[in-house]
Amino acid sequence: MYRYQNPVIGGFHPDPSVCRVGDDYYLVCSSFEYFPGLPIFHSKDLVHWEQIGNVLDRQEQLPLPFPGAKASGGLYAPTIRHHDGRYWVINTNIDGGGNFVVTAERPEGPWSDPVWIDLEGIDPDLAWEEDGTCWCAFSGPAGGINLARIDPVEGEVLEGPFATWSGSGLKYPEAPHLYRIGDWWYLLIAEGGTERGHSVSIARSRSPRGPWEGAPANPLLSHSGTARSIQNTGHGDLVEAPDGGWWMVLLGVRPRGFTPDVHVLGRETFLTPVEWDPDGWPVVAPVPETHPAPGGAWHPVEQPAPRDDFDAPELAPHWISPFARPAGSWSLGERPGWLTLTATGPTLDRPGYTFVGRRQQHHDCRAAVLIDPGTGRGGLAVRLDEAHHYALEAGNGAVAVVARIGPLRQTVATLPVPSGPLTLTVAIRTSDLVPASPELTDGGTTGPDTLAFWLGDPDAPEARLLAELDGRYLSTEVACGFTGRVIGMYATEGTVAFDRFDYRPAPAPAP
C-alpha cells in the first residue's frame, strides 16, 4: 500500500484551496507580497503536485503600490473553483484594490485581468446553485463570516452582504468555503487564529441563506495543546476523489527548537482524510505525518530541477520577487546562459530592491550560486522580510556576511577575493547547532537550525566558512507575519550576473 508523507507541498505555501475536474486536481495558495502571485499546482493523486504556473503573472494583474505595499501584505487566501467550463479564482489584494475574480479556460492560463468586487473583507469564496446563482462567502471587516449574492462576471453585488454562522466562539472566524453536498449546504471555516490555536469548524443549512447549525463536534480539527509535530492546523478546503472518498487540504507548520518552538519554512500544505458520520457530519482525522495514499493510484510528477543554469527563455514559475519584478531589473538574454540582475534599490532593508528567489522547502538543505559581481554588488540572501534576512554578499573585491535582525544590521564577516566568478553557498542544518551565545554550554542551543555561509563548495578542501548564524532570528515567531523563508539572488549596486542556482535538500540527521 502506497503511503504519502506530509506536507504534500513543503515550504511557504499557505491557505490552500483545491478543486477537482475529472481526474485532475488543481490547487492555489496565498503568496502575499511576492510576484508573480498565487502559485497554481496540478496533481492526479492529491499527493504529488507540480507547479504549472502562477495565476497572476503579469504586473498589471497584481498592483502592489510602492511605497505602501508591505511584507505579509498583498494576496491573501484564494479560492479556486471550476464552473460552467471555466476556472475561477477569487482573492483579496489588501494592498491594492480589495476583492477580485480572475478566470481562465485552462488552469495554466492565461488568466484574465481582475474583476473587482465591492465587498469589504478578506478570504472570499465562490459557490454556485444549480440555477447559476453565485454566492460569495468572506470574512467581514467587523469579524464573522458574511455572505453576498454576486455576479462574478461583472463584479456586481446583487444582494447582501449579510451575516451567517461565525464559528464556535473562537477568535478570528475566517477562510469560509461553501459547498452543496447532497441535500445540505455546508459552511467550512477556520477559527482560533492562525497560530497554535488554529482549527477547522463547520456548519450546515438547507439553504445558503441559513439558518445554520454548527456541528456538535466542532472544532472538527485542531492540534492545539497536543505534542504532534504538525501544528497550527487550519484553513482547510474539502474535495471529493473519483472513488467517492473525501479529503481536506489545509495549512500547518512544523515548529522546531527549544520552547516555545519556532517555524521557519512558513505555513505549508498538508493533506488529511475525511469520513462522514451517520448524521451527515464530516469527521476529520488529525493530520498524519504519513498515511495511505488516496485511491491507490500513484502519479509522481517531475519536480523542478535542483539546478537552474538559466538557459531557458523564461524564468521557471517557482521564482518569485518581493513586490515587483520590473522588466529592466532582470534579463536572461543580456548574457546568454546567465541571469543578470540590475539594482533598483541600494539595500535589502527597504522595499524596492532587485531580488529573485525560491521558497525554502526543506529544514536541511543547501543553496549555491555562481556569481560574477563585475563592478556591481549582490549575492545570495535568505529572506523573511526587510528587517529579517541574512546575506552573503560579493562586491568591491570582497565577500561579506551581513545579518539584519529587527533594528540591528551587522557585517558579521568579510574576506578579500579576486575579481571574477565566485561560488557562494548557504548550508542550513538542524543538527550540531551553534549555541545561542558563547557562554552557554552543551544543551544551550535554542535555534531551530543553523545557517552556514561559505565561499566555495563546502565539500571542497579550499572552501572557506565565513560565519554560522542562529536560524531562529529568521523565523515567523521572531519576525512576525504570514510568510516563510525565501532563498534568492539579489543586486543592490550595478549589474550582477548569476550562471547557476543550485538548491538541494540535505539528508535529515539521524534521530
Q: Could you tell me the CATH number of the domain that includes residue 431?
A: 2.60.120.200
* Nearest CA among 2, 30, 4, 36 for reference residue 17: 30
Co-location of 80 and 219 in the same domain: yes
In a domain, 466, yes or no: yes
Which pLDDT score, from 0 to 100, does residue 509 have? 62
d(CA 326, CA 501): 21
Q: Is 459 a catalytic site residue?
A: no
Q: Is 477 a catalytic site residue?
A: no
State the catalytic residue, choosing from 15, 45, 95, 386. 15
Which pLDDT score, from 0 to 100, does residue 440 have? 56
In a domain, 377, yes or no: yes
Residue-averaged pLDDT of the chain: 94
Picking from 265, 292, 319, the residue at the C-terminal end of a domain is 292
Co-location of 214 and 270 in the same domain: yes
Co-location of 364 and 287 in the same domain: no
Give the dihedral sign, CA 191/194/200/206. positive
Report pTM.
Answer: 0.96
d(CA 190, CA 169): 11
State the catalytic residue, choosing from 174, 385, 449, 470. 174
Place of cell 482560533: 192
Co-location of 325 and 427 in the same domain: yes
Co-location of 80 and 224 in the same domain: yes
Picking from 259, 292, 325, the residue at the C-terminal end of a domain is 292
In a domain, 265, yes or no: yes
Co-location of 181 and 259 in the same domain: yes
In a domain, 124, yes or no: yes
In a domain, 363, yes or no: yes
- Where in the sequence is the domain holding 451, given as residue range(s)? 307-505
Q: What are phi and psi of 207, to 5 degrees?
A: -145, 150
Co-location of 288 and 311 in the same domain: no
Burial class (CB in 10 A: 0-12, 13-18, 19+), 282: buried
Co-location of 24 and 83 in the same domain: yes
Burial class (CB in 10 A: 0-12, 13-18, 19+), 126: buried
In a domain, 300, yes or no: no
Picking from 261, 292, 323, the residue at the C-terminal end of a domain is 292
CB neighbour burial string for 408-424, b if at least 16 within 10 angstroms, e if fewer: eeeebbeeebeeeebbb
Task: State the cell numbers at 3.
Answer: 503511503
User: Could you read off the pLDDT of 394-403 as tens digits, one per residue?
Assistant: 999 999 999 9
In a domain, 510, yes or no: no
Co-location of 252 and 317 in the same domain: no
Q: List, edge to edge, every strand of the sheet that includes 98-104.
A: 75-83, 86-93, 98-104, 115-117
User: Alpha carbon of 103 to those of 56, 112, 249, 379, 406: distances in Å?
Assistant: 11, 5, 22, 38, 40
User: How many domains, the chain?
Assistant: 2
pLDDT in tens, the chain (511 residues): 678 999 999 999 999 999 999 999 999 999 999 999 999 999 999 999 999 999 999 999 998 876 778 999 999 999 999 999 999 999 999 998 899 999 999 999 999 999 999 999 999 999 999 999 999 999 999 889 999 999 999 999 999 999 999 999 999 999 999 999 999 999 999 999 999 999 999 999 999 999 999 999 999 999 999 999 999 999 999 999 999 999 999 999 999 988 889 999 999 999 999 999 999 999 998 999 998 888 766 787 777 789 999 999 999 999 999 999 999 999 999 999 999 999 999 999 999 999 999 999 999 999 999 999 999 999 999 999 999 999 999 999 999 999 999 999 999 999 999 999 999 999 999 999 988 766 655 556 678 999 999 999 999 999 999 999 999 999 999 999 999 999 999 999 999 999 999 999 987 665 5
Co-location of 345 and 273 in the same domain: no
Co-location of 249 and 130 in the same domain: yes
In a domain, 297, yes or no: no
Co-location of 269 and 353 in the same domain: no
Which pLDDT score, from 0 to 100, does residue 510 have? 58
The CATH number assigned to the domain holding 170 equals 2.115.10.20
Which pLDDT score, from 0 to 100, does residue 165 have? 94
